[in-house]
Amino acid sequence: MTWQDRFSIAGKVALVTGASSGIGAEIARVFSQAGAKVIATGQSVERLDALAIETGCATIPADIATVEQCNTLIAKAHALHDTVDILVNSAGIAVVGPVLDFDPADWDRTMAINLRAPFLLSKGVAPGMIAAGAGKIINISSQTGVIALPDHAAYASSKGGLNALTKSLMTELAPHNIQVNAICPTVVMTDMGREIWSPPQKSGPMIAATPLGRFGEPVEIADMALYLASPASDLVNGALMMIEGGYSSV
pLDDT of 195 higher than 90 = no
Contact 1, 22 (CB under 8 A): no
Tell me the pLDDT tens digit for each residue of 7-17.
Answer: 999 999 999 99
Residue 227 annotated among the catalytic residues of the structure: no
The stretch 232-241 carries a mean pLDDT of 98
Contact 86, 135 (CB under 8 A): yes
pLDDT for residue 184: 97
pLDDT of 197 higher than 90 = no
3-class DSSP state for residue 61? strand
pLDDT of 122 higher than 90 = yes
Task: Select from 31, 5, 60 the least CA-distant residue to 225.
Answer: 31
* Count of beta carbons in the 10 Å neighbourhood of residue 165: 21
Looking at 60, 89, 155, 240, which residue is catalytic?
155
Tell me the pLDDT tens digit for each residue of 54-84.
Answer: 999 999 999 999 999 999 999 999 999 999 9
pLDDT for residue 204: 93
pLDDT of 193 higher than 90 = no
CB proximity list for 74: less than 8 A, separation 6 or greater:
120, 121, 124, 125
The stretch 36-56 carries a mean pLDDT of 97
Contact 50, 20 (CB under 8 A): no
pLDDT band at residue 170, thresholds of 50, 70 and 90? very high
pLDDT for residue 97: 93
pLDDT for residue 196: 80
Average pLDDT, the chain: 96
The stretch 18-40 carries a mean pLDDT of 97
CB proximity list for 36: less than 8 A, separation 6 or greater:
9, 10, 11, 12, 13, 14, 86, 229
pLDDT band at residue 138, thresholds of 50, 70 and 90? very high
d(CA 26, CA 21): 8
pLDDT of 89 higher than 90 = yes
Contact 85, 12 (CB under 8 A): yes
pLDDT band at residue 111, thresholds of 50, 70 and 90? very high
pLDDT of 191 higher than 90 = no
pLDDT for residue 156: 96
pLDDT band at residue 35, thresholds of 50, 70 and 90? very high
DSSP bridge partners of 136: 86, 179
d(CA 236, CA 64): 28
